[in-house]
A and B are shown apart, each in its own frame.
Chain A
Amino acid sequence: MLETLQTLDRRWIFLAMFLAVAVPLIMGTTFPEEPSDQVMAVFDAVENLPDGSNVVMALDYDPASEGELQPMASAFTRHCALKKHNIYFMTLWPQGGPMIQRSTELLENDYPETYKGKYGTKYVNLGFRAGNEGVIKLVVEDLKKSYDTDVQGTNLNDIPLTKNLKNIQQVDLLCNVSAGYPGSKEWVLYGSAPFDIPTVIGCTGVQAPIMLPYIPQQLTGMLAAIKGAAEYEQAIINAYPELNDNLAAKEGLKRMGPQLVAHVLLICLIALGNVIYFWERKQGTS
């Protein structure tokens, strides 16, 4: 038996991982989540703003990390929509434009009474600008030096939401969803920390340890990986029970099923690998 495992073709491991992810995903298995204090800090930051507040939604990720981050971006957007906040979308990633499109579609389709046909008065898409942290430094000082038009080419002075907005120090909250550089760290270093802009973020699991030192001083809260997204969705559902029947509002919760089985499989593989290792050592072959 151990000899067979010693020379196990890795394609069997790939098949096991494929099934571990695919089966719970197809079955739509979900598990109860209890929002942690950190996630509740993010929830409260959005929830406690008066209805109709101004929120910058900076979505700095691409399709590669969409699996992990889109549920967060959707949850942030949904929560802001429930509070009827005014939303300014922007991205520092060239591939971020279509990611913003998913959120604007969510606003228009799921909350038509507040956002349908309200482009420019309830939400605006500033799109992508090159320059990484340079863009952040400019938008916190002088927005129109970096963005003179929105994504459709309309001058910001002709858009009601941006007409009187000098810089994003004037907004009530900054929400950032990021997959790396430029992203959350740059927003904290050049945006929120020097100007005390209340900021919440959502980031990948890999990025989470890097961002932990900034909580709670520079960052109000953080959603870490798909677990953070699932807990945030649960917090929103707890506050707005009508979302319980909305499957689109449970994307993160649905992805915790595959995560559970994949993690258990990983632990089994590590344990099995170590059994083989110690067996080999006993045999004197390692």
Chain B
Amino acid sequence: MKRTIPLFISAVTGFVLIGTAFIPKFVDWGNDAMAWFNLLAAFAFILGGGNLLKMQLQKISAQQPGWGYAAVTLIAFFITLFVGLAKVGVNPSVKFPEFAWSGEFQEEGSAFWWLFEYIFYPLSATMFALLAFYISSAAFRAFRAKNTEATILLSIAVIVLLGRTYAGVWLTGWLPNEPIIGSSGITYSDFHLPHLSQIIMDDFTTPGMRAITIGIALGVASTSLKVLLGVDRSYLGSDQEA
């Protein structure tokens, strides 16, 4: 029973949503289904919070290596949750001045805004910025012309890296717009690095990505059909019938 009902809900909702694409009468049903989906997505935040709590508490209770980080995560989680829910430092909105909590929780000057601007924002930006350091280290240690494929990849990477900056113009901007051999149509300026970089994107990357995208779409369609018809039940947690 506990498997049949979710399977039934998935199948009905899925087929209704497919129907909305073809039958105008189904549009309102589809919108209702999506509104429900959005509600469920909001509740997923509660599940996410619960999962975070469970995992971090397990680490702390088992005194796993690095459990101190788990404690910091939990403290930060509770402070942020409290500050956001209690709307600490938020002024009542102009429209509803009689309600103390009517203001926007992210308003400038509030405690939540402060946490976001001065803790989350710099930490998050720093984590991403660190990528530049690791990429440079990896470029030095791992990007080797070990075989033909790696050499081609390396050459293309160099063209794109140079072509996407002014270095490409500096290095090849002087090439004249004159034909190389007679009337072949190929000119020296075709070898401008920014131009070559664009050719790589337009003539190699785009068709390649198009093929991959079509392949993924076909895979998604077949997997979706399997889910809707109840053939694939892995999303329920197990293939075993309860």
Residues of A within 8 A of B (CB): 8, 10, 13-14, 16-18, 21, 31-33, 36, 62-67, 95, 97-98, 101, 129-132, 134-135, 137-138, 141-142, 145-146, 151-154, 194, 208-210, 212-213, 225, 227, 256, 259-260, 262-267, 269-270, 272-274, 277
Q: How far apart sit A146 and B31, CA to CA, in the bound complex (Å)?
A: 9
Cβ of B144 within 8 Å of any chain A Cβ, yes or no, is yes
B45–A130 CB distance below 8 A: yes
Given contacts A66-B125, A212-B202, A272-B140, 10 further A-B contacts (CB under 8 A): A10-B141, A16-B136, A21-B132, A64-B127, A130-B38, A153-B95, A153-B102, A209-B209, A262-B136, A267-B162
Q: Given A227-B164, A256-B165, A153–B104 Cβ distance below 8 Å?
A: yes
Given contacts A64-B127, A153-B104, contact A264 B167 (CB under 8 A): yes
- Nearest-Cβ distance from residue B46 to partner chain A, whole angstroms: 11
Among the listed A14, A64, A130, A131, which residue makes an inter-chain contact with B137, where contact means beta carbons less than 8 Å apart?
Answer: A14
Assess whether B42 is in contact with A213, with CB atoms less than 8 Å apart: no
- A14-B136, A62-B124, A266-B136 as given contacts; A101 in contact with B106, CB under 8 Å: yes
Smallest distance from the beta carbon of A157 to chain B beta carbons, Å?
Answer: 14
Cβ-defined contact, B137 with A13, below 8 A: yes
The answer to whether A97 and B137 touch across the interface, beta carbons within 8 angstroms, is: no
Checking A65, A138, A212, A277 against B201 with a beta-carbon cut-off of 8 angstroms, the contacting residue is A212
- Per the bound structure, the CA–CA distance linking A154 and B96 in Å amounts to 10
Which A residues are CB-close (under 8 A) to B124?
A: 62-64, 95
Q: How far does the Cβ of B33 sit from chain A's closest Cβ, in whole Å?
A: 9
The answer to whether B140 and A270 have CB atoms under 8 Å apart is yes
**Contacting residues, chain A, for B139 (C-beta < 8 A):** 266, 269-270, 273
Judging by beta carbons under 8 Å apart, are A263 and B132 in contact? no
Residues from chain A with a CB closer than 8 A to the CB of B15 are: none
Complex contact A32–B166 (CB within 8 A): yes
A13 x B93 contact (CB < 8 A) = no
CB-based contact B213/A31 at 8 Å = no
- Among B104, B129, B205, max chain A CB count under 10 A is at B104
Task: Provide 29 A-B residue pairs closer than 8 Å at the C-beta atoms, listed in order of the A residue.
Answer: A10-B140, A13-B137, A62-B124, A66-B125, A67-B128, A98-B106, A98-B117, A131-B34, A131-B41, A141-B34, A145-B31, A146-B38, A151-B104, A194-B21, A209-B209, A213-B213, A225-B164, A227-B165, A260-B166, A262-B136, A263-B164, A264-B165, A264-B167, A265-B136, A267-B158, A269-B140, A273-B140, A273-B141, A277-B146
Task: Take A14-B136, A266-B161 as given contacts and tell me if A212 and B104 are in contact as well, using a CB distance cutoff of 8 Å.
Answer: no
Residues of B within 8 A of A213 (CB): 206, 209-210, 213
Residues of B within 8 A of A138 (CB): 31, 34-35, 38
Please report the C-alpha to C-alpha distance between residue A153 and residue B161 in the assembled complex, in whole angstroms. Answer: 46
B residues 136-168 in Cβ contact with A at 8 Å: 136-137, 139-146, 154, 157-158, 161-162, 164-167
Q: A63 to B125, Cβ gap below 8 A? A: yes
The interface residues of chain A lying within 8 Å CB-to-CB of B236 are none
CA of A149 to CA of B172, assembled, Å: 55
Residues of the A chain whose Cβ atoms lie less than 8 Å from the Cβ of B165 = 31, 227, 256, 259-260, 263-264
One of B106, B136, B205 near A13 (C-beta < 8 A):
B136
A-B pairs with lowest CB-CB distance, top 5: A131-B38, A31-B166, A64-B128, A260-B165, A213-B210
Interface string of B59-95 (1 = CB under 8 A from A): 0000000000000000000000000000000000101
Residues of B at the A interface (CB closer than 8 Å) are: 21, 27, 30-31, 34-35, 37-38, 41-42, 44-45, 93, 95-96, 102, 104, 106, 108, 113, 116-117, 120-122, 124-125, 127-129, 132-133, 135-137, 139-146, 154, 157-158, 161-162, 164-167, 169, 198, 201-202, 205-206, 209-210, 213
CB distance from A185 to the nearest CB of B (A): 9
Set of chain A residues within 8 Å of B140, measured between Cβ atoms: 8, 10, 13, 269-270, 272-273
CB neighbours of B137 from chain A (8 A): 10, 13-14
From B35, which residue of chain A is reached at the shortest CB distance? A145
Contacting residues, chain B, for A153 (C-beta < 8 A): 93, 95-96, 102, 104
In the assembled complex, the CB of B125 is this many whole angstroms from the nearest CB of chain A, namely 5
B44 touches A270 (CB 8 A): no
Q: Contact between A98 and B116 (Cβ–Cβ < 8 Å)?
A: yes
Chain A residues with Cβ under 8 A from B141's Cβ? Answer: 10, 273
Inter-chain CA distance A134–B106, complex, in Å, is 24
B47 to chain A, nearest CB (A): 12
Instruction: Give the chain B neighbours of A142 by CB distance below 8 A.
Output: 31
